Chains A and B, each alone.
Chain A
Amino acid sequence: MPGSRSEARAPAGGRAATGLAVVGAGPAGLAAAVTAADHGLDVTVVDAAAAPGGQYFRSPPEELAAVRPGAAPRGQRGFDDLLTRLTAHRATGRVRYLSGHHVWTAARTGDDWALHTVTGQAGEGGPMVLTRRILLATGAYERQLPFPGWTIPGVVGAAGAQAMLKSGLVLPGRRVVVAGSGPLLQAVAVSLVQAGARVPALVEAAGYGGYARAPRVLAANPAKLTEGLRHGAALARAGVRVMSHSAVTAVHGADRVEAVTVSRVDRDWRPVPGSGRTLVCDALAVGHGLTPQLELAVEIGCDTTVRADGSPALRLDERLRTSVGGVWAAGEPGGIGGVGLALVEGELAAHAVAAEVRGGPLRETAGRVRSLLRARRAQRAFAELMGAVHRPGPGWRDWADDDTEVCRCEEVTAGRIRTAVTELGASDARTVKLFTRAGMGWCQGRTCGFAVHELARSDSDGARAPTPDRRMPACPVLLSALAGEDTTADPEEVAGASETPGAAEPGGNGGNRLP
């Protein structure tokens, strides 16, 4: 922040009793911010991206969109409406908007919360946001399972391929196999085909028949059913072969994807011996659903619970309150449910915050809140069904041979993790991490966390919840930014210090280890 460092470091935010900080400007955060501002609250939005929209409404930067426009996602009109309302509230000062800022921790100061932010690639200190209440709308990232060859260039996250397509208008290859589990894969395959890729197969480890287990939930969510059918029709038109109860169990190629092996899997996701067949492709887009982004919530002390999909999510009440006073959450942090649910919960949470500020339920929005609650119940039921259908079966662990890297950052193999479990007695992800460094690297276990938990637990543990570690800071922070937080150093001096090379890596001892 050249030239404005001292100003930028000054506390910002609604310190008044009517203050609300919304962390994240995806669908949930935006819906929450404009609704809270409609109620007269003083809202500060902090978002890591350059432009609002989160991952779902991720769009190319303006310069690029002008050169080559992309297809608008579904729901674009509703999003445009939210942006219009946001702009109006920013014009009156009701909403303050900090783009390109990441909240790395939140601390109590009396009745208020102090949100500490960093900005820029390196993690330079940004302004502190003082606020009475926090609404967490931190979204999700993709859940991954390891298998031989998944680190070869050309293997990309399914959501990652879509993100690169949305923001950069590029593809990882010409012939892209889409694999993993969950309805996102259908959307990704359709996007890739529309962008000109060949998608020879969509490989789904579960079976879509699982949804038929809950006809009433389906009946209450006709839009989800329609979307599934629409995607199915689009895939059929494009000649994409949908292979359910199947998984990519190996990727072939030295420094680049040349082919994949697709195997049939049983209901526990165990590969059926002899069923493997080779599919030629130059890229693989793979993912096993999404997992909530909880670093900040866990750091603040919010309770988590395990959802039907097997991943941890925040424990929330009907008013979207977390277990920590003054902290609400909306959208994916409460369990993966998609854009529709995020919009509903964002608005609902803002009404709940407003009701608390005013000291009781608000008559003028009572009808709206009732209908939002109905929509939330229906969509949460669908989310749980979706999670149960696509929850990785225990047999996926047979995909990873002992040489398969599980932790991509620290290059820790499944074999080393198994040794830690069977010979050293580790029975949870944290102990495995201490023995092997799995999950200790740059990404702080975001990519391998679920897999390490699954490899560490024994089947007798049943559905024992993976409890996320507290890992402060929630993102990389320059040492100079850390030093700047607790001192009254001359801003010029702090600015100078930030130019010293050597960023603090997440987890402190994780990144800069010297061999």
Chain B
Amino acid sequence: MIRIRVRTTAGSGGSAPGAGRPGGSAGSAGSAGAAGAAGPADSGAGFEFSFDGLPVRALPGQSIAAALWAAGVLSWRTTRLNGRPRGAFCGIGSCYDCLASVNGAPNNRACLVPARPGDTVTTQEGNGRAWLQE
């Protein structure tokens, strides 16, 4: 049997970096990336992108959602009506729960979009188009 080792989220006792607060901005607590248990590949390969202003490490080819999970972040969207936090749910691009703003563009399915070095990922609040309603 092959055992693979993966990084896990902060889990019990960890703070919840990036967990959205109703009506507020996510990522206000803690440092994204600090909570992830170190994995064997942390040392060499990989790159950084930013999530709500904090650095997150990703491995080449990882989706934004996978990199955020590895950093202990489980939510990166707040819902349109109740402002509740959401993150990856179906993992295959069919539920649209994991929408994030990537480099300013809302409605990216984080479970499908590969993370790229230097990406700016932000919690998507509501429909992500507040600028249309001003």
Task: Point out residues on A near B: beta carbons under 8 Å.
Answer: 48, 55, 60-65, 67-72, 121-122, 141-142, 151, 153-157, 159-165, 167-175, 194-197, 255-256, 280, 282-283, 293, 408-411, 441-443, 446-447, 501, 503, 511-515
Question: Contacts A163-B90, A164-B111, A169-B6 given; 15 further ones with Cβ under 8 A?
Answer: A60-B61, A64-B59, A67-B59, A121-B108, A121-B113, A141-B90, A160-B111, A164-B88, A167-B91, A169-B66, A170-B69, A171-B7, A282-B12, A408-B89, A514-B133
Query: Is there contact, CB below 8 Å, between A160 and B129?
Result: no
Residues of A within 8 A of B114 (CB): 61
Residues of B within 8 A of A446 (CB): 94-95
Query: Is there contact, CB below 8 Å, between B4 and A71?
Result: yes
| Least CB distance, B25 to chain A, in whole angstroms | 13
A447 and B90 contact, Cβ closer than 8 Å, known pairs A167-B63, A167-B66: yes
Query: Is there contact, CB below 8 Å, between A255 and B75?
Result: yes
- Pick the residue among A64, A153, A282 that contacts B87 (CB under 8 A): A153
| Least CB distance, A296 to chain B, in whole angstroms | 13
| Least CB distance, B100 to chain A, in whole angstroms | 11
Query: Is there contact, CB below 8 Å, between A161 and B91?
Result: yes
In terms of DSSP, what is the predominant structure of the interface of chain A? loop
- What is the bound-complex CA distance between A71 and B88, given in angstroms? 23
Query: Is there contact, CB below 8 Å, between A164 and B41?
Result: no
Residues of A within 8 A of B70 (CB): 168, 170
In terms of DSSP, what is the predominant structure of the interface of chain B? loop
Q: Could you write out 30 A-B pairs with CB less than 8 Å apart?
A: A60-B61, A62-B61, A64-B59, A64-B61, A68-B4, A70-B4, A72-B2, A121-B108, A122-B105, A153-B19, A156-B88, A159-B92, A160-B90, A160-B91, A164-B91, A167-B66, A168-B65, A169-B59, A169-B66, A170-B8, A171-B69, A174-B12, A255-B20, A256-B74, A409-B97, A411-B79, A411-B80, A443-B95, A512-B127, A512-B129
Per-residue 0/1 for B118-131: is the Cβ within 8 Å of any A Cβ (1 yes, 0 no)?
A: 00000000010100
- What is the bound-complex CA distance between A62 and B67, given in angstroms? 16
- Cβ-closest chain B residue relative to A255: B19
| Least CB distance, A169 to chain B, in whole angstroms | 5
Does B86 touch A at the CB level, under 8 Å? yes
Residues of B within 8 A of A61 (CB): 60-62, 114
Query: Is there contact, CB below 8 Å, between A171 and B8?
Result: yes
Query: Is there contact, CB below 8 Å, between B60 and A63?
Result: yes
Query: Is there contact, CB below 8 Å, between A168 and B69?
Result: yes
- Cβ-closest chain B residue relative to A72: B2
- Cβ-closest chain A residue relative to B109: A121
Query: Is there contact, CB below 8 Å, between A168 and B82?
Result: no
